[in-house]
């Protein structure tokens, strides 16, 4: 249950593209990641100045994520939601591949990428951070961007959530916070780390449920932390309670530059890794970034809407909305008002959500043209529009009040009215004979 196994299986399915030409970790790898953003897993065999291979786009499609979890795509939401609500503790291994090689605390051994032209410098984008609150013993696992400051120091972006709360607890005691940063992981660990369960729920336990009990952890060497035993690379260190640095600018999920701000420093204690390890990278604002952040939110929205309408077919946080701000929801409407209730439930379930459209279950929400058609033929602005002003929003939206986290929200009920014949809202179809079907297949060859 490792990254290597995922890549081996993908190669059998011809979903891996190996890039054998030498490329630079500054811009060139990121440029190719952007070029093949919605394509196969990328393996960069020759990264200038390094012996390590760089791996990208492992979590770059719903199909690959579902395959890694041993399910089909339509089960992703239910699997995620059930795992979030039924976490199971993983076993701790006595030895770990992630500790086969022990290095000095020198970040220059890693091919850390510089992605965009105005980035402050190289950034680790696939780091899963473990920390434990000594005060209440709560463990937290979450994904954070990490800016390289020098050979042994990082700056970590702490959004005011669970890791921030744990760090603040250590800060009040004037203690540095021990952390372990894991790279090169099974997709289940990344999905769990992005799932944002209630404080007190260990995301490793969610990952173990996603992996049907097959996750193994390992105790770190120089900290009281735990990491996935099969991780490719582990960085052990401490988040300083007093030392900070200017972090950013850096591109976030919407493809715009986040602002500079003072953030805590991470002092690296040691680096361990597997033999011939793989450095995993995630392109900021790429499809992989959007899926890892968005899929767990989709699962929560799906469940919330299911509580207020009888049947929910699907939920998608769209790529154009950064996998974060725009939702499309497909329901089977039974009573007038179901569409609006679905919209309100979605906004409550995902506070960062800015715009949402709900459609009937005959509309494929993965086809944006079909969604636009539903809006064109089933939506009336004076009856079907919801506008919510000055609501809590996302700090990532540059058009919002980013200091007070306030935004305006818009919901469109594009479900058909039930007081009109259903025939008026059906798409016209042409019967397809078997002879014409064969002819079409022949002509397309």
Residues annotated as catalytic (active site), given as ranges: 252
Cβ contacts of 42 within 8 Å, gap of 6 or more: 16, 17, 19, 32, 33, 36, 54, 55, 56, 57
Buried b / exposed e along 37-66 (16+ C-beta atoms within 10 A): beebbbbbeebeebebbbbbbbbbbbebbb
Q: Who contacts 140 (Cβ-Cβ below 8 Å, separation ≥6)?
A: 130, 131, 132, 133, 162, 163, 166, 199, 202, 203
CB 289 within 8 A of CB 303: no
By C-alpha distance, which of 109, 195, 106 is closest to 153? 106
Sequence-separated (6 or more) residues with CB below 8 Å from residue 324: 253, 254, 290, 293, 294, 297, 317, 352, 394, 396
């Amino acid at each position: 249950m490792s990254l290597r196994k995922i890549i081996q299986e993908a190669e059998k399915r011809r979903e891996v593209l190996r890039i054998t030409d030498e490329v630079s970790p500054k811009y060139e790898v990121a440029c190719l990641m952007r070029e093949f953003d919605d394509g196969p897993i990328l393996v960069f065999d020759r990264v200038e100045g390094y012996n390590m291979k760089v791996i990208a786009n492992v979590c770059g499609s719903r199909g690959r994520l579902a395959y890694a979890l041993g399910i089909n795509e339509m089960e992703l939401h239910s699997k995620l939601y059930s795992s979030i609500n039924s976490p199971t503790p993983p076993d701790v291994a006595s030895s770990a591949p992630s500790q086969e090689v022990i290095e000095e605390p020198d970040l220059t051994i890693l091919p850390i990428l510089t992605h965009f032209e105005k980035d402050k410098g190289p950034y680790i984008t696939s780091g899963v951070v473990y920390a434990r609150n000594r005060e209440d013993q709560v463990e937290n696992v979450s994904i954070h961007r990490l800016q390289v400051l020098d050979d042994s120091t990082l700056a970590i972006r702490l959004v005011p959530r669970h890791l921030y709360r744990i760090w603040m607890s250590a800060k009040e005691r004037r203690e540095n916070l021990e952390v372990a940063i894991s790279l090169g992981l099974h997709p289940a660990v990344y999905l769990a780390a992005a799932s944002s369960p209630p404080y007190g729920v260990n995301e490793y336990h969610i990952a173990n449920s996603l992996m049907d009990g097959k996750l193994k952890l390992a105790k770190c060497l120089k900290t009281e932390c735990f990491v996935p035993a099969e991780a490719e690379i582990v960085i052990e260190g401490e988040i300083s309670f007093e030392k900070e640095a200017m972090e950013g600018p850096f591109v976030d999920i919407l493809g715009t530059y986040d602002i500079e701000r003072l953030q805590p420093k991470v002092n690296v204690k040691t680096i361990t890794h597997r033999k011939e390890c793989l450095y995993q990278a995630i392109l900021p604002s790429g499809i992989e970034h959007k899926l890892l952040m968005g899929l767990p939110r989709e699962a929560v929205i799906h469940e919330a809407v299911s509580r207020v309408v009888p049947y929910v077919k699907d939920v998608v946080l769209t790529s154009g909305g950064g996998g974060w701000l725009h939702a499309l929801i497909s329901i089977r409407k039974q009573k007038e008002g179901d569409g609006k209730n679905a919209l309100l439930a979605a906004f409550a379930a995902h506070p960062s959500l800015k715009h949402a459209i709900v459609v009937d279950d005959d509309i494929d929400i993965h086809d944006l043209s079909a969604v636009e058609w539903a809006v064109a033929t089933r939506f009336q602005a004076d009856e079907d529009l919801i506008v919510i002003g000055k609501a809590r929003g996302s700090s990532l939206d540059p058009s919002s009040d980013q200091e007070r986290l306030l935004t305006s929200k818009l919901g469109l009920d594009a479900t058909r009215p039930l007081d009109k014949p259903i025939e008026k809202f059906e798409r016209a179809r042409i019967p397809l004979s078997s002879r014409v079907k064969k002819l079409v297949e022949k002509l397309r060859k």
